[in-house]
Amino acid sequence: MTSELDIFVGNTTLIDEEVYRLWLDGYSVSDAVALRVRAGILEQTGATAAVLQSDTMDHYRTFHMLERLLHAPPKLLHQLVFQIPPSRQALLIERYYAFDEAFVREVLGKKLSKGTKKDLDDISAKTGITLKSCRRQFDNFKRVFKVVEEMRGSLADNIQQHFLFSDRLARDYAAIVFFANNRFETAKKKLQYLSFGDFAFCAELMIQNWTLGAVGEAPSKPDSQVDDMDMDLDKEFLQDLKELKVLVADKDLLDLHKSLVCTALRGKLGVFSEMEANFKNLSRGLVNVAAKLTHNKDVRDLFVDLVEKVHLGPQFVEPCRSDHWPLGDVRLFLNQYSVTVHSLDGFRHQALWDRYMDTLRGCLLRLYHD
């Protein structure tokens, strides 16, 4: 008598998301096993400690083999060794390149160099993130930076194309790369209240309005000399910003600007008297920031200048905080302050003003926590 037996053989690579998280977080196999035991997996599955140890080690070996492919995500899609469904491939990539808020705030705006990497021990101790995880995140930032730094075109699109990130993660990495390239200061004590999301929001505005990519075409010079479109700030635009000083240097323009803003906001602003009394200082602060952006050091200190009362005098955020301006009043003031410039007959730099102020207004509203 003969029997028929159907046999199915599969080689789909199994990915345990929890073990993957432990591996990404930098835990050793023994630590990962202990954490899984503590989470109650033995009771849930009926497995023995030996089986759990073997299972964890097997997953870790798989992740180590996948890691070289994760360094260049398109290779993961096209390789034939590991049979992984597309949805799982996307999960592996997205989580491998995910980062901790506490970690990115420590390195944001710093040069992605060996010098910064030497500080990872201190960052690990300060944040409680394992050193191995800190190294992975730092190396990911540096890897993406190196791949896209010479590319023309949209920074976020280039990152998404070469690393297969989700739209949100690509935009976050664009902010990290942009800040690293321009070396914006983010570590000062006065800036510690700001989150990575706050800085990423501002980075997106600056990329859209203040870079070479924002003007739609590169300057007329050989390709080898053309700056990266979304990586670098438009130097010609920054130099032109000094023309805005006329708004505070010309007394007639300054007085007319104040009169227009006060007329528009009378009866609408809860802090009207404070605004009226401090208008000239606030205007000088906003315009002085523009004039200072002609120097690299002052570009790096942009966020410090917006928030602090620096040696040039009061800027914006701190003076408004001191007078207890609610966010709604800040928004009303900045909107009217920006738009009324178009009614100043003696002012000849409207397009430059809009390109500068549209971004600055958005950043200030994001930085202002009343």
- Average confidence (pLDDT) over 93-111: 97
Q: Are 272 and 266 in contact (CB under 8 A)?
A: yes
* Cβ atoms within 10 Å of 188's Cβ, excluding its own: 12
Checking if the pLDDT of 220 tops 80, the result is no
- The pLDDT tens digits of the residues spanning 299-317 come to 999 999 888 754 344 468 8
Residue 11 has pLDDT above 80, yes or no: no
pLDDT value for 295: 81
pLDDT higher than threshold 80 for residue 235: yes
Mean pLDDT of 195-200: 97
Mean confidence (pLDDT) of the chain = 90
Q: How far apart are CA 134 and CA 120, in angstroms?
A: 7
User: What is the rounded CA–CA span in Å between residue 62 and residue 57?
Assistant: 9
> Measured between alpha carbons, how far is 141 from 108 in angstroms, rounded to an integer?
10
**Looking at 64-78, 233-247, 312-326, which range is the least confident one?**
312-326
Amino acid at 205: L
The yes-or-no verdict on residue 226 having pLDDT over 60 is no
Q: What percent of the chain has pLDDT over 90?
A: 76
Tens-place pLDDT, residues 19-53: 999 999 999 999 999 999 999 999 998 989 999 99
Burial class for 275, CB neighbours closer than 10 Å (0-12, 13-18, 19+) = buried
pLDDT of 218 above 50? no
Task: Give the tens place of pLDDT for each residue, 253-282.
Answer: 999 999 999 999 999 999 999 999 999 999
> What is the band of 221 on the pLDDT scale with cuts at 50, 70, 90?
very low
pLDDT at site 12: 80
pTM to 2 decimal places: 0.90
CA 343, CA 155: separation in Å to the nearest integer? 36
pLDDT (mean) for 202-206: 96
pLDDT of residue 298: 84
pLDDT of residue 213: 84
Instruction: Examine the pLDDT at 7 and tell me if it is beyond 70.
Output: no
Q: How confident is the model at residue 225 (pLDDT cuts 50, 70, 90)?
A: very low
pLDDT, mean of residues 152-166: 95
Alpha-carbon distances, residue 72 vs 17, 147, 164 (angstroms): 21, 10, 9
If one counts every other C-beta atom within 10 angstroms of the C-beta of residue 145, the result is: 19
